[in-house]
Each structure stands twice: as structure tokens, then as C-alpha cells.
Amino acid sequence: MVAYRTKMVERITLPAREQRERTLAEAGYNVFNVPAAEVYVDLLTDSGTGAMSDEQWAALVRADEAYAGSECFDRLESAVADVMGFEHVIPAHQGRGAENVLYGTLLSAGDVVPNNTHFDTTRAHVANQDADPVDCPVDEAYDFESDAAFGGNLSLDRARTVVDEVGPEQVPVVVQTITNNSAAGQPVSVENTRRVRAFADEIDATFVIDACRFAENAYFVKQREDEFADASIAEIAREQLSYADAVVMSGKKDGLVNAGGFVATDDPDLFERCKQRAILYEGFPTYGGMAGRDVAAMAVGLREAVEEAYVADRVEQVREFGSLLGEAGVPVATGGHAVYLDAGAVLPHLSSDVFPGQALVCELYREGGVRGVELGSFAFPETDRPELVRLAVPRRTYHREHFDHVVETVETVLETRSEVDGLRLASEPSIPELRHFTADLEPVQT
């Protein structure tokens, strides 16, 4: 089922091969340094890169830009109440701004935070409070062979081990990230959310859901969790989020906008405390660093995100892309927003110290002007995560022809894979956790 027809187009071009080769070298073999105009199919991220609907553009044009008490903020409040079930909302410029507001309010030095898997900015914001982010994924999270329905779940055994080690008073917050971006975008079941709620009650912790991709998660729940087979996406989303004390949201994902985010809660005390920090870092709490027009567009986007036709079209497009890549012979894990390739299996002759994932990312650009992102030993130094390359799919943006082009590109890379060189760092930025954004690399002849 196709849910749209096109009303406006943006021209894209594939630069000549020699140009791509030159661009890659000039970019220090780091695709974050490649100009977007020289990318043909841009799968770097699904964050803020999607197409807005005509209804969102209409809301954007009609929005008011008041510093305090704007009418578009009222519309956001009512959308958050209807779609997510929370009474209080504090906008922020994007998800990480909301993380700063919430985690800065909830955490103190020495605290420990279990999460199914911390996204990079979440990890950084927890660490920024001198607290310790601990990932508690289930065993299947990184298993490409696994057919687990909910490989994104939080492992309660792991979370309990954390609490046993440090004591419940050191664990004031438990987080569940839906879907689990860092574990191949796999979903989290409502059953797991209920268990985490009970666990948080046991240890008297605040339960936060990182709801960036809550609608995509609800689609998987409908398909895979028997209890919800006949429920609507909107009902499932509200049910799952109802267990949280607060949500932290990047509107750039399932808010269907290019900028924005928020914290939402029913707890009046938490709301008051967050508001003070929001004023300090984001802006007055009726705009929170967003333009009124983006607030208005996000209010519409949240409602669209739980429409059955939207979310089915969205997740099924990603699923189809994943199965095309799988048929081409690449080990893949497919989540709600992205397909993750196992670069270690594609380039077995490259050891992790020469960054097989980044070598594959460069090869995809060189062969087809396709941009993905490495999530392996280059992005996560000192961890033993698999060598993943993520191809994230912007919402409502690309069509089957684009995905066919990516699949053809991957097939070409597979034919010549034994000749692909590894890479080494040519510069080392000062913060190792963020090096993949800015580091320069150079090829190593192997």
C-alpha cells in the first residue's frame, strides 16, 4: 500500500566516479565531511531528514512566533496529550536538548542508569552528570542469526545485577529506548515495558522512555505481540507510554519534523523542576529553543506518526529494503528505521583495527554515491560491538528505485570486496567517543 503522491521534488545527481574518489580523499575518508549535494542516496540518518506533509507545511505557515504562550504550543500540548497521554510538555531544540533537561534534573554524581542500550547522546548526557550509563540489552540484541521478535528489549537480569552491585539508592532512573537504535533498531515489547515499570517500582526509580521511534515500535508490537493484534497503532503507543513517568523525545524521528524535541510527564513536581533547567538551556518553556513554526509542524507530525497507513508504509519500506539486501548476500539486521549490515562478514580480511565498517561505508560512497554510517570499532572505540554499518531510511523521502540503486551498489562492492583496503586514523580528535564525526582517516594497503 502506498500512502502518498508527490507534490514537490528535489533534484539529486550522482557525481562522476572520479569526482566521488576525489571527494572521499578530500573528506579524509570520513563521510561526515562529504557535502550532501555530492551524495546520491543519503542514508546517514533518519533524524530530521524526512519529508513533511502538506498539512505540516500548512501548520508551519500559519504558526505564531510568540516568545511566551504561543498558540502553537497549545496545539503541541494537545497532540502530546492525545497521542502520548501526558499532560505536561517542555519543548527542546532536539532530542539531546531534552536529554540535558531531563537527565540534568534527575541525576547526580555517582548514580547508575540501566538502559536497554544508551544512544550516544544519551550516554554522553548521563556521563555529563558524572553518572554511569550501563547497557542492559538482551542476548539476542547483536545476533544476526536470531529471529527474536523483540531483540530490543531490556534485560531485567542485567538490570538487577546492576542494582545488586551498587544498591537501589544509586539507581534513581531506569530508561527504555524504543525502538532500540543501538541494537539494530529492534523493537521493545509492551510486556517488557510493563516488567520494567514493575522493576522501577521495586527500586523506587523514575522510569523514562526514550520515545524517539515510539510509533515504529508500536507497529512491531501490533505484528508480533498477540495481545495487540487487533489494537490500533495509536492505542498501542498510548498503552506502552502509559507505563513511563516521563518520556524524552526527538521530534526529528517520529515527530516527523526537521528540528525539535521535548520532555513530557504527568508528574507536576518533575515538570516544575525540568522547567527551570529548560529555561537555562533551551528557552522559555512554551518554545524551548524551537521556532513556533516547528512546534506547530511537530504537533501535526505526532498525530500523523500514529496513522496506520503512514506507519505501515514506513516500516514495510524499511523491511523490503532489508530483504533486498539480504537476498543480495549481505548479513543484515532490519529495524524500524534502518538496515544494519554486518561489515565484519562482508570484509573478513580486515581486522577491527583497520575499521572494516568504515571501509565499507567509503566503498558504498565510492561505488554508488550512497552514504551510510559506521557503528563499529571506529565509532565505539574500546567496546566489543560488532562491525555494523547502518543505512538509515529518511521518512517519506526515497522510493523503490533509490533502494534498487543501493542494492546494486552493494552487489558491486561484494564482487570486488577482497580488494577493499582498511583505514587508519590520520588525526585523533580530543574526545574519543565523538571521533567518528570529525576524524580524518587514510587507506592502509593490506
Binding site for ligand F0G (CB under 6 A): 45, 47, 94-96, 119, 121-122, 177, 181, 210, 212, 250, 252, 261
Distance of alpha carbon 107 from the chain centroid:
23
Tell me the closest approach of the beta carbon of residue 179 to ligand F0G, in angstroms: 8
- Amino acid occupying residue 121: T
Contact yes or no for 124/433 (Cβ under 8 A): yes
> Cβ–Cβ contacts within 10 Å for residue 67, how many?
10
Cα 213 from Cα 119, distance rounded (Å): 12
Name every residue whose Cβ is closer than 8 Å to that of residue 234 and which is 6 or more positions away in sequence: 83, 218, 306
Nearer to ligand F0G, 28 or 255 (CB): 255
The DSSP 8-state label assigned to residue 245 in this structure reads S
Length of the chain: 446
Nearer to ligand F0G, 94 or 192 (CB): 94
* Lookup: cell for 407: 542494492
Spatial CA neighbour of 298 closest among 26, 128, 31, 92: 92
Spatial CA neighbour of 101 closest among 285, 294, 263: 263
Tell me the closest approach of the beta carbon of residue 154 to ligand F0G, in angstroms: 13
Cα 39 from Cα 14, distance rounded (Å): 7
Contact yes or no for 129/118 (Cβ under 8 A): no
Helix, strand or coil for residue 93?
coil
Spatial CA neighbour of 275 closest among 72, 87, 88: 88
> Cβ–Cβ contacts within 10 Å for residue 110, how many?
11
Nearer to ligand F0G, 129 or 181 (CB): 181
Nearer to ligand F0G, 163 or 246 (CB): 246
Nearer to ligand F0G, 173 or 212 (CB): 212
Nearer to ligand F0G, 43 or 350 (CB): 43
Nearer to ligand F0G, 119 or 219 (CB): 119
Tell me the closest approach of the beta carbon of residue 254 to ligand F0G, in angstroms: 11
Tell me the closest approach of the beta carbon of residue 424 to ligand F0G, in angstroms: 25
Nearer to ligand F0G, 45 or 358 (CB): 45
Distance of alpha carbon 168 from the chain centroid:
29
* Lookup: cell for 314: 514506513
* Lookup: cell for 157: 537480569
Tell me the closest approach of the beta carbon of residue 47 to ligand F0G, in angstroms: 4
Nearer to ligand F0G, 257 or 420 (CB): 257
Tell me the closest approach of the beta carbon of residue 156 to ligand F0G, in angstroms: 20
Nearer to ligand F0G, 121 or 155 (CB): 121
Residue owning grid cell 526529528: 252
Cα 142 from Cα 333, distance rounded (Å): 9
Tell me the closest approach of the beta carbon of residue 237 to ligand F0G, in angstroms: 16
Question: In b/e form, how buried is each residue of 202-224, taking b as 16+ CB within 10 angstroms?
Answer: ebebbbbbbbbbbbbbbbbbbee
Residue owning grid cell 569526482: 19
Closest residue to bound ligand F0G by CB: 95
Cα 297 from Cα 256, distance rounded (Å): 8
Helix, strand or coil for residue 381?
coil
Nearer to ligand F0G, 123 or 303 (CB): 123
Contact yes or no for 371/41 (Cβ under 8 A): yes
Tell me the closest approach of the beta carbon of residue 230 to ligand F0G, in angstroms: 29
Tell me the closest approach of the beta carbon of residue 336 to ligand F0G, in angstroms: 11
* Lookup: cell for 288: 524551548
Tell me the closest approach of the beta carbon of residue 185 to ligand F0G, in angstroms: 9
Tell me the closest approach of the beta carbon of residue 353 to ligand F0G, in angstroms: 25
